Structure 1
Amino acid sequence: MTTVLAPRVVARSGISRRHFTLTPPARSALLVGLVAFFVSFAWSWQPSYWGDEAASIMSAERSFSSLFGLLDNIDAVHGLYYLFLHGWIDLFGGSEISTRLPSAIAIGVAAAGTVVLARFFMGSRVAISGGLIFAVLPRVTYMGAEARSTAIATAIAVWLTVLLVHALRSGTASRRRQVTLWLGYSLLLALGMYVFLFLALLLPVHAVVVVVAARRHLLGRNVVAWLGASAFGLLLAAPIILIGTSQREQIAFIGRRPTVTVTEAAVMQWFDTIPVAIMAWSLIVVAVLVVFLRRSGLHRAGLPDRAALSIFLAWMVLPSAILLIGTQVVTPMYSLRYLSLCAPAVGVVIAVGVAALTTKWLRALAVAALVVVIVPAYVVQRGDFGKNEGSDWRQVAEVMAARAAPGDGVVFDQSVRPSRVPRLAMHVYPDAFVGLKDLTLTRSYAETGWLWDDVAPLSNVLPTVADLDRIWLLQYSGSGESRRGTDVRTLTLQGFHVADTTLLNRTRIIEMTR
């Protein structure tokens, strides 16, 4: 019996090995994905949390009934991410390293997908370079170390485009396989919009992909198939589209900000600093000039043809143009973070620019220069105050843990915009505030249908200070002097005086005693 079964076992084992062996392109994509993951993950735990991350964590830590009550009023467009983060925090805790880890993983997945996608249109070296350049862009390393949904949405955007190209090129496959691919496109499109509603900005880009990537003799059929799959995906996403539209006031803050100029967008949208922007745009211009003006040799150099490069240029330009024009014509809607999903195309076009340079030494010099200008931005991002222009809440928590005692009172400055209110330090670093009396709190955020706590002015709750000997004021240093002094004057009239003041990066901690 053994001699009969042994050949079968060996045969099955051989099939299994062949089945799980990665092809060289797959290995390259996997390696690029791992590099991208480590670049985003490295020191991601170092910067303090900031306001948007506080919204993620506070929402995720609610009970399900409280969370669904919140989503009924606001932030429904982030609901799926909050639900995911709720389970993630239950498993791995709410530290910076834990809550930012999913974004780093997503960047790795997006970088691998970028290599796979670019490989459809250009040589493997250029495709690999595109994935690596994407991984080190300042916008990518920022969102790869942030407890928000942007990185996950970017990964979905990349693989949705990969799936689209694969579906377009499967014209000779069986009908069942084609239906499966287009159905997968619909489902992934819907999922992407539940994660990030502005993923719909990819649809005009995908229209360009359909025209360029579809086989000419199947163009009409592919256009119909894509329109049907897109319509079905939008139908599946209709609930979040309707809810998001009804809650559009939540992005009203964009209208209160200064209008972003095209020049500012050219720098800040993906590159963060002027030196990075100059280097990146120079290589983008090289890519366009060489591919569109050169008549031969593109294939030998691994470069895409004009039509293929047009796909990635459209991915860079169309979503940005839609938001910029929409802001001017309809309502304020442009935000730098919304265009993060275009970063994969940016990485690929820059890689084409590098590959288009005439000599090996020029290419090496361009890559070295790009790394040199990116490193300072990366170092700043990974510093203690790398988020939101200097959030310092972890440092605030460290001071309070060292100096405050149970039974002390604490009052938070409420005069700044919600994402910078020092009160949020207590929610993202709660251990440092255990035992302190929150004097102005009227209702916890978990008991409201809103993101934040309900609070009262200090002057309305003066009886709560009667039996206290020490109160801590946490103030945003960017508040006006008159605003900062209001609570100090109020407590001075109650018999307190300023015993000590500590100024951190942007938070002032005032110790007041009787």
Structure 2
Amino acid sequence: MTSAIAPHPLASRALARPDFTLRSTGWSAFLVGLVAFIVSVAWSWQPSYWGDEAASVMSAERSLPSLFLMLGNIDAVHGAYYLFLHGWIDLFGASEFSTRLPSAIAIGAAAAGTVVLAEKFISRPAAIGAGLIFAVLPRVTYMGSEARSTAIATAIAVWLTVLLVLAVRSRTASRRRQIALWGGYSLLLALGIYVFLYLALLLPVHAVAVVALARRHPLRRPTARLWWSLALWLGASLLGLLLALPILLAGSAQREQIAFIGRRPRVTVSEAAVMQWFDTVPVAIMAWALIIVAVMAVFFRLRGTQYQAGLPSRGALSIFLAWMLLPSGILLIGNELVTPMYSTRYLSICAPAVAIVIAVGLAALANNWLRAASVALLVATIVPAYTVQRGEFGKNEGSDWRQAAAVLAAEALPGDGVVFDQSVRPSRIPRLAMHLYPEAFAGLHDVTLTRAYSDTAWLWDEVAPLPDALPAVANLNTVWLLQYSGSADWRHETDVRTLQLQGFRVAETTLVNRTIIIEMTR
């Protein structure tokens, strides 16, 4: 029957519908946002800090002159977030719960925005489902419990897209409203780029969205409405980029700080398909299966799918597929042909689109039983990943600095010395534990320190090799070594041998998770 394959009227009107009010979706969006906040904030205080969070917290705890001096040399692209976190820590302290709380709040805002955005293209139940799916995606629950800027950037990305849709659909609104919407788009775009430079990757996605929203039929010739919408969007985008020009120039000047990406193994497309948003293979299989169902249902009229569920038009789904795939493709291609630039974390801003397309796939399934079974299976695959994230060693494949600091707090005495492994990459140096959990190291003598990080123009402390700092151990009876278990220094026991030549012996060795604590006494 014709009715079995015809799109629901809601879908056919989705791109052309002129009204875009938040009133009807307000409570649904608020409640979904609240659920997303709770999911992200729950047990967020459990895992120890890790290296990127150390950069956030230590930078934010600097004095403002010290912070601005550092931003002139490195991490300017994170400067807006560090300034925000500086004020936040002044008010609420630097505990894991406190510093990760803004990210959980941002995830709540992003989930609410996902519902608001999705309902303009799909049915309300499917839009609510999109917000809830977004809330539990492993990439989302990870960044929602991390003291970094990606969660805030994702929230900005969602609401920036909402503003875009409002602005394109405001053609018949008053001139004042149109100016307010396009001006707001420019300002929010600039703010988003200051928070996260790679948010600029949304611009080609938004170009696709403008075309899809302004064209009533894909096969007809471009209309004046389309050209006018493109002109307004281009002007607003250029204004946003102009406002963000200082951070764009600073990011370009400091691009060498992400050169480490080039030293990592190349990421394959299959690895990216798993790690960008899904974390584990079972979650990725379920998610991509539903994404394929969505594509087949909307573009190819897959037999057995449920079109009465209010599925999006092809143009609408194209917007979210572009949001999923264009930024990833740009970074992967640029990584191969231009310069190192790809990291799975950078694609966090695409998670809302991923959730919406998965929700479309669920809505397209033939009956409620199949939908319920798919949701149950998806949640069952996500729970193990969530549990690992909320464990004590849930960050960066097992960061254990809080637990190592607890050992020092219990066993070290004031006046003892402490030496940190310097043979690993900066984000894994055990020395960072001392700045993140300073109470545990109170009264200990930092043997190799030459200049504290807060007195430098760089992220980390300046230190000397232990053989050059031996006069500092001359009057010490106990020295604690903190070694990274996978480091070359631990395998060759360089610092241990150096201290043995000074009359020390190994009294006790404790393996926490990946940090080895060695007590050496005379």
With the shorter chain as reference, the TM-score category is over 0.9
Identity of aligned residues (%): 75
- Mapped to 2, the partners of 1:482 and 1:433 lie a distance apart of 22
Paired residues for 1:270-309 under 5 Å: 270-294=277-301, 300-309=308-317
Q: Which residue of 2 aligns with 1:219?
A: 226
Q: Which residue of 1 aligns with 2:503?
A: 495
- Mapped to 2, the partners of 1:178 and 1:255 lie a distance apart of 44
Q: Which residue of 1 aligns with 2:152?
A: 152
- Mapped to 2, the partners of 1:438 and 1:469 lie a distance apart of 14
Could you tell me whether the CA contact under 8 Å between 2:483 and 2:490 is conserved in 1?
A: no
Secondary structure in structure 1 of the residue aligned to 2:309: coil
Cα displacement (A) at 1:180: 1.0
Could you tell me whether the CA contact under 8 Å between 1:396 and 1:507 is conserved in 2?
A: yes
- Mapped to 1, the partners of 2:256 and 2:55 lie a distance apart of 17
| Segments of 4+ moved more than 4 angstroms | 295-299, 481-484
Cα displacement (A) at 1:37: 0.3
Q: Which residue of 2 aligns with 1:179?
A: 179
Could you tell me whether the CA contact under 8 Å between 2:70 and 2:459 is conserved in 1?
A: yes
Could you tell me whether the CA contact under 8 Å between 2:421 and 2:483 is conserved in 1?
A: yes
- 1:239 and 2:243 equivalent? no
Q: Structure 2 counterpart of 1:118, which letter?
A: A
- Mapped to 2, the partners of 1:302 and 1:316 lie a distance apart of 21
- 1:474 and 2:482 equivalent? yes
Could you tell me whether the CA contact under 8 Å between 1:59 and 1:67 is conserved in 2?
A: yes
Could you tell me whether the CA contact under 8 Å between 2:421 and 2:489 is conserved in 1?
A: no
Give me the CA root mean square deviation: 1.4
Paired residues for 1:23-422 under 5 Å: 23-214=23-214, 216=216, 218-294=225-301, 300-422=308-430
TM-score by length of 1: 0.95
Q: Structure 2 counterpart of 1:391, which letter?
A: S
- Mapped to 1, the partners of 2:418 and 2:74 lie a distance apart of 28
1:322-370 alpha-carbon deviations (Å, 9 max, x no partner): 0000011100100000000000000010111111110110000000000
- Mapped to 2, the partners of 1:425 and 1:155 lie a distance apart of 30
- Mapped to 2, the partners of 1:403 and 1:484 lie a distance apart of 25
Q: Structure 1 counterpart of 2:176, which letter?
A: R
1:368-391 alpha-carbon deviations (Å, 9 max, x no partner): 000000000000000000000000
Cα displacement (A) at 1:299: 6.2
Q: Which residue of 1 aligns with 2:220?
A: none
- Mapped to 2, the partners of 1:252 and 1:25 lie a distance apart of 44
Q: Which residue of 1 aligns with 2:13?
A: none
TM-score by length of 2: 0.93
- Mapped to 2, the partners of 1:471 and 1:295 lie a distance apart of 69
- Mapped to 1, the partners of 2:103 and 2:187 lie a distance apart of 21
Farther off after superposition, 190-199 or 302-311:
302-311
- Mapped to 1, the partners of 2:178 and 2:329 lie a distance apart of 33
1:386-410 alpha-carbon deviations (Å, 9 max, x no partner): 0000000000011000000100000
Cα displacement (A) at 1:146: 0.1
Secondary structure in structure 1 of the residue aligned to 2:493: helix
Q: Structure 1 counterpart of 2:290, which letter?
A: L
Secondary structure in structure 1 of the residue aligned to 2:482: strand
- Mapped to 1, the partners of 2:490 and 2:469 lie a distance apart of 20
CA shift in 2, pair 1:65/1:481, >3 Å: closer
Could you tell me whether the CA contact under 8 Å between 1:284 and 1:350 is conserved in 2?
A: yes
Could you tell me whether the CA contact under 8 Å between 1:110 and 1:154 is conserved in 2?
A: yes
Q: Structure 2 counterpart of 1:209, which letter?
A: A
- Mapped to 1, the partners of 2:96 and 2:382 lie a distance apart of 23
- Mapped to 2, the partners of 1:459 and 1:481 lie a distance apart of 13
Could you tell me whether the CA contact under 8 Å between 1:413 and 1:484 is conserved in 2?
A: no
Q: Structure 1 counterpart of 2:203, which letter?
A: L
Could you tell me whether the CA contact under 8 Å between 1:254 and 1:333 is conserved in 2?
A: yes
- Mapped to 1, the partners of 2:393 and 2:431 lie a distance apart of 17
- Mapped to 2, the partners of 1:450 and 1:397 lie a distance apart of 24
Could you tell me whether the CA contact under 8 Å between 1:298 and 1:304 is conserved in 2?
A: no
Could you tell me whether the CA contact under 8 Å between 1:163 and 1:185 is conserved in 2?
A: yes
Q: Unmatched 5+ residue regions in structure 1? A: 1-20
1:257-279 alpha-carbon deviations (Å, 9 max, x no partner): 00000010011110000000001
Cα displacement (A) at 1:294: 1.7
